[in-house]
Amino acid sequence: MSQARATSHRPTAWWKEVVIYQVYPRSFNDSNGDGVGDLNGITAKLNYLKQLGIDVVWLSPHFDSPNADNGYDIRDYRQVLAEFGTMADFDQMLEAMRAHGIDLIVDLVVNHTSDEHAWFAESRRSRDNPHRDYYIWRDGSPDGSPPNNYPSFFGGSAWELDPTTGQYYLHYFDVKQPDLNWENPKVRAEVFDLMRFWLDKGVAGFRMDVIPFISKQPGLPDLTPDQLAHPEFVYSNGPRVHQYLQDLHHEILRSYNAMSVGEAFGVTMEQAPLFTDARRGELSMIFQFDVVRLDRQNWRKTDWTLPALKAAYARIDQAAGLHGWATSYLCNHDNPRAVSHFGDDSPAWRERSAKALATLLLTQRATPFLYQGDELGMTNYPFRSVEDYDDVEVHGQWRELVETGRVPAAEYLDHVRQTSRDNARTPMQWDSGPHGGFTTGRPWLAVNPNCVEINAAAQLEDPDSVFHHHRRLIALRRKTPALVHGAYEDIDPKHLQVFAYTRALADEQYLVVLNLGARPLQYALPSGISIERAVLDNGSGDGVAAGATLLRLAPWQATIYKLE
């Protein structure tokens, strides 16, 4: 019986010691040639994931949805999206994962539903419908404009006037994603119920979409001009978010020993422990945005410096503290590709820099989340025109900014080519055949033409590939408790090109040295650090004698040393 899957027999904090791999099902593997990835496609690739060595799959939404935002708009929480397969396919996939020793976490999207969800269909019918209070309805301002000045992340107002009842409903994201009203205890009970449904099937936990947004500001006052630039800091600060999460922990998560990772957009480092301090009983960990948004002003690409990146890592580690736990990620389905973002995706340095980033990702005091394709060093896509994009966010911003003349088209396109979420959403590159082996049909989103060089089949054959480097790092992490739990110390926070940190657990000490640039350099170790040997590097190190104090670092060299 599937409940045997329950994780309650395990050590309480089992999720600290795993490596998690994110699957974006639409783009992972298409098993039936309709151009859309599906659950049977995932099942068919479990040997590949096993070979990589990951422990847990995080599956982006697989629920029934009209796909206004690729499944982050759920129509039925208890159905599988028809394009992805059936519930029988899901059960079979879960069973096969179990056989491979892989756990599954699913995406809990409960700040909002689809406007096609049965609750919303009811809610919008009349002001006295029993489901009216499942969502957030308000009268317009006296002049007929929206109730307040809240913006939607996907362009325009966060309010939509619904003609049937003459009131506005709130949507932080697309108009097809109305926000649920968590003040209503019936809504909370529904969410608990649907969580039980998936946990009883045997999933090991949840990634929780924009979870800090569930509690709204009392009275919904207008944002100030400063707040308008970053509404997420207001949206994530409702007064009841911690009460809701504590209820959810005590009523559901705890009894299943389920893991939870909250997407904490708008949560500052100071607030992070409120979510993750185990003594409070809320979430296992959160995704912070300090690293992936280091060089972003909304859709604009800005510059980043290594000291700023290192400061973000130090803050994340500090926020986790002794009683919390952190996540490590460089990419997901909302971000550009890791190697294009923080590495160098030119042919000369792509592989080596992708391996250096893998070293960074997998040696933090945090649970690593590896996004599909990053284990191959997949790159951003060469987008040209707005038609090349699928993303609702790009099209919304295009209408709001470019079509109104506020931002020149060329300027918008230049930035969004580097920042668009679609960079991570192009299909997996399995082999050098048509459409990278992702589908035998026409892919829903174009495959990157560089699949001819960058693909899984070629990398599986090549022991020096980016894939095998990830595999070695994962294996090393698994057998080295100091790399999981050891104290983190940045030994040189100001250096402009070298990221060097130690991980220490009792008398076991490691030093990670990353040359995050194409310039070779000599690096003098601070006193008190004594190298015993190199444990793993990305194929660029020239070997180092025990006790060396001066390291000659090759371009993009990344080496893990054991210290004496």
Active site residues: 209, 263
Return d(Cα 145, Cα 153) in angstroms, integer.
19
Q: How far is the CB of 29 from Ca ion (least distance, A)?
A: 9
Handedness of CA 321, 327, 331, 332 (dihedral sign): negative
371 binds ligand TEU (CB under 6 A): no
- Near ligand TEU by CB under 6 A: residue from 58, 119, 265, 398: 265
Asked if residue 391 lies in contact with residue 421, where contact means CB atoms within 8 angstroms, the answer is yes
Return d(Cα 318, Cα 321) in angstroms, integer.
5
Size of the site for ligand TEU (CB under 6 A): 12
From 402, 152, 134, select the one nearest 160 (Cα to Cα). Answer: 152
- Near ligand TEU by CB under 6 A: residue from 109, 267, 339, 482: 109
- Quick one: 400 or 489, whose CB is closer to ligand TEU? 400
Q: How far is the CB of 209 from ligand TEU (least distance, A)?
A: 5
What's the DSSP call for residue 313? H
Considering only residues 181-240, where is the footprint of ligand TEU by CB under 6 A? 209-210
From Ca ion, ligand TEU, none, which one binds at residue 109 (CB under 5 to 8 Å depending on kind)?
ligand TEU
Residues 308-347, mask of contacts with ligand TEU (x by CB under 6 A): -------------------------xx-------------
From ligand TEU, Ca ion, none, which one binds at residue 153 (CB under 5 to 8 Å depending on kind)?
ligand TEU
Region of 558 on the Ramachandran plot (φ > 0 left; ψ -120 to 50 alpha; else beta): beta
Q: How far is the CB of 137 from ligand TEU (least distance, A)?
A: 20
- Residue in this structure with the two tokens 């300090």, named with its chain if needed: 290
Following DSSP, what letter does each residue of 439-498 receive, concatenated?
A: -SS--SSPPPGGGGTS-HHHHHH-TTSHHHHHHHHHHHHHH-HHHHHSEEEES-TT-SSE
- Quick one: 89 or 263, whose CB is closer to ligand TEU? 263
DSSP 3-state of 59: strand
173 binds ligand TEU (CB under 6 A): yes
- Quick one: 34 or 508, whose CB is closer to Ca ion? 34
- Quick one: 70 or 123, whose CB is closer to Ca ion? 70
- Residue in this structure with the two tokens 């990670």, named with its chain if needed: 512
Considering only residues 460-519, where is the footprint of ligand TEU by CB under 6 A? none
Asked if residue 375 lies in contact with residue 529, where contact means CB atoms within 8 angstroms, the answer is no
- Quick one: 155 or 437, whose CB is closer to ligand TEU? 155
From ligand TEU, Ca ion, none, which one binds at residue 30 (CB under 5 to 8 Å depending on kind)?
Ca ion
Considering only residues 231-270, where is the footprint of Ca ion by CB under 5 A? none
From Ca ion, ligand TEU, none, which one binds at residue 38 (CB under 5 to 8 Å depending on kind)?
Ca ion
- Residue in this structure with the two tokens 């020993």, named with its chain if needed: 257
Residues 431-450, mask of contacts with ligand TEU (x by CB under 6 A): --------------------
- Quick one: 47 or 302, whose CB is closer to ligand TEU? 302
Residues 64-83, mask of contacts with ligand TEU (x by CB under 6 A): -----x--x-----------
What is the CA angle 524-514-422, rounded to 5? 155
SS (H, E, C) 510-556: EEEEEECCCCCEEEECCCCCCEEEEEEECCCCCCCCCCCCEEEECCC
- Quick one: 187 or 560, whose CB is closer to ligand TEU? 187
Residues 1-30, mask of contacts with Ca ion (x by CB under 5 A): -----------------------------x
Asked if residue 455 lies in contact with residue 376, where contact means CB atoms within 8 angstroms, the answer is yes
- Quick one: 173 or 383, whose CB is closer to ligand TEU? 173
Considering only residues 382-411, where is the footprint of ligand TEU by CB under 6 A? 393
Considering only residues 282-301, where is the footprint of Ca ion by CB under 5 A? none
Structure tokens at 555: 């371009």
Sequence-distant (≥ 6) Cβ neighbours of residue 26 within 8 angstroms: 36, 37, 60, 70, 71, 83, 84, 425, 444, 445
Considering only residues 27-46, where is the footprint of Ca ion by CB under 5 A? 30, 32, 34, 36, 38
What is the CA angle 558-331-194, rounded to 5? 135
Residues that bind ligand TEU (CB under 6 A): 69, 72, 109, 153, 173, 209-210, 263, 265, 333-334, 393
Residues that bind Ca ion (CB under 5 A): 30, 32, 34, 36, 38
